[in-house]
Chains A and B, each alone.
Chain A
Amino acid sequence: MDVYLPVAGMSMNIFLLVGLGAMVGFMSGLFGVGGGFIMTPLMMMAGIPPAVAAASDSNQIVAGAASGAYAHWRLRNVDIKMGLVLLIGGLVGGTIGVQLVKLLRELGNIEFVMKALYVLMLSTIGGAMFWESLQTLRRSRRQAATPPRETKHRVSIWSRLPLQMTFAQSNLRTSAIFPFIIAMFVGLLAAILGVGGGFIMVPAMIYVIGMPTIVAVGTDLFQIVITTANVTLQQAVANHTVDLLLAMLLLIGSTVGAQFGARVGRRLRGEQIRILLAIIVLVFAVKFVFDLLLQPDNLIAVAGGHGGGH
């Protein structure tokens, strides 16, 4: 059964769209990532213009993340205080990033820069997470009685800086400047890559800031709701690229998927979630490497306003 998407200007199968949404929503609930870095390429493969795919995906993520954030909030996995600090940092970084994108686009080949950055980021993060989770899994198997350590990394330097705050949910006391800087950096990268940044932010929260995995996931979802709502509005106003019908079909799937994802997430241990996310991240890194190395089928491509203003 086909449906015509008014803004995208094309017709697509309803079940394909709902199914795509459900799959990505499940991952979103499980890992606390928005799924933008998976969904947008999938939609582009289905023939949706890149600009419309990216913008409508943001709109869809609002719903998936809201549903997931709500589920995590009920399970007390959202550190709202930390979320707000990260949000401010992310907004500052994102604003700088958008300007950088403008500059890069004028220099040409933003697409190549994006893909190369993707490969670097994804393989580093994926590789590190995979290695660390594997070690943890092995260790816990050897000494089954030992409770899993949620280590607090490198907080000592930051504990002397001003703006000390206690983040009760994350079980941390540190300077607010620290997560702010991390979030700014992630926001910067996210804007260049044209994604929400959950797949960078979650590992950063776990490994750099030292938050417990499940709280990092919940807090990130909370933050994603606000940032993607902002992006949706900006895209609708500046580029007219948000296809609500497309987003609605995707979000019917993704909201339901996110609930199941959050449930499954509760049954898994932190390192199990991390190793799964690491594998997915690595698969995408490999895909982008191939994109850069293999000769494209058609050397000529119509620029449909790729990533039209993130």
Chain B
Amino acid sequence: MKAPSPSTLLAAAVLFVTSSAGASPETQPATASVTEVVTSTTKQDVEIGLMYNGDYIYFFGSVPEPGADVIVKLTSTDDTPITVNRKGKVGLFWMNVKQFSVTGLPLVYKLHSTRPIAQIVDPALAAELGIGYDVLKQRMQLKLERGSAESDDRDMVFDGVLRLKKEANLYNVDEKRIEVTGGKIFKHYFRFPPAAKEGTYTAESYIIKDGKLIARGIDMIKIQKSGVEAAFTNLAQKHSVLYGIFCVVIALGMGLLVGVIFKKGGGH
């Protein structure tokens, strides 16, 4: 489940061929018993440094049975409620006419698969595994904070938020991303956009054959700030008075410094 972190593609490939061979005498399920699939990643810890601009992480895994399909779901454990405004026309003007509190939507949601998801799983299994935007929409909880309810609220809010998420590359579904090499190993990468904040992310791999889940695996990715970024954040959150004074002093100092430099350089 958790392979040691930085492993090369080759090493990973070798590992998975052997491990999948070792894991093979299981399935042929009368009762669809689900086994654990061996997966790994190129890294498990992402550090947000000064130059952080998102990251690419490769994921590998074994496919226990030839011909099986793979779906990998990347989500964040961060599902903080968000406040959403809906605009409407009042007279001539566009203004916020209602406000919702939305829960149940993760910060990040990405799906990769070997072929169109609708061909791999039926809606019941998709709902069980949390696969697809439809399932997310069902899980979304909407609370009207202001304004009056309308029948299309749910659709409007979900579609609007989905669009914003897609624009920030926080949500996406790519149904051709995963390739299975030699029927045994799958590999692909997830792009973690710059908007992917600190926190824990899980990549769940589902191996599905004939509409049944035959194996699954989980990888955890941790994103955290390091160095200057961590220091700033820590100071801003935990010692906010000190941080505020620091910000003001630096700004005053820089302003006056530039003033003095220009005075010397410029004459009168």
Contact = CB atoms under 8 A, between A and B. Distances in A.
Given A292-B94, A300-B84, A302-B161, A70 B248 contact: no
B195 A299 contact: no
Interface string A185-209: 0000000000000000000000000
A3 B50 contact: yes
A233 interface: yes
A59 B248 contact: yes
Contact of B86 (A74, A112, A300): A300
B99 A74 contact: no
Interface string A219-234: 0000001000100111
A95 to B, nearest CB: 18
B53 A63 contact: no
Given A4-B52, A111-B96, A302-B164, A59 B255 contact: no
A236 B245 CA distance: 9
Interface string B19-45: 000000000000000000000000000
Contacts of A244: 232, 236, 243, 246-247, 250
Interface residues of A, number: 58
A247 B51 contact: no
Nearest to A292: B93
Nearest to B54: A11
Given A63-B254, A302-B161, A6 B248 contact: no
Contacts of A258: 255, 258
Interface of B: 48-54, 82-89, 92-96, 99, 146, 156-157, 159-161, 163-164, 194-195, 197, 225, 228-230, 232-233, 236-237, 240-241, 243-248, 250-252, 254-260, 262-263, 266
Interface of A: 1-4, 6-7, 9-11, 59-60, 62-68, 70-71, 74, 108-109, 111-112, 116, 225, 229, 232-237, 240, 242, 244-245, 247-248, 251-252, 255-256, 258-259, 263, 292-296, 298-303
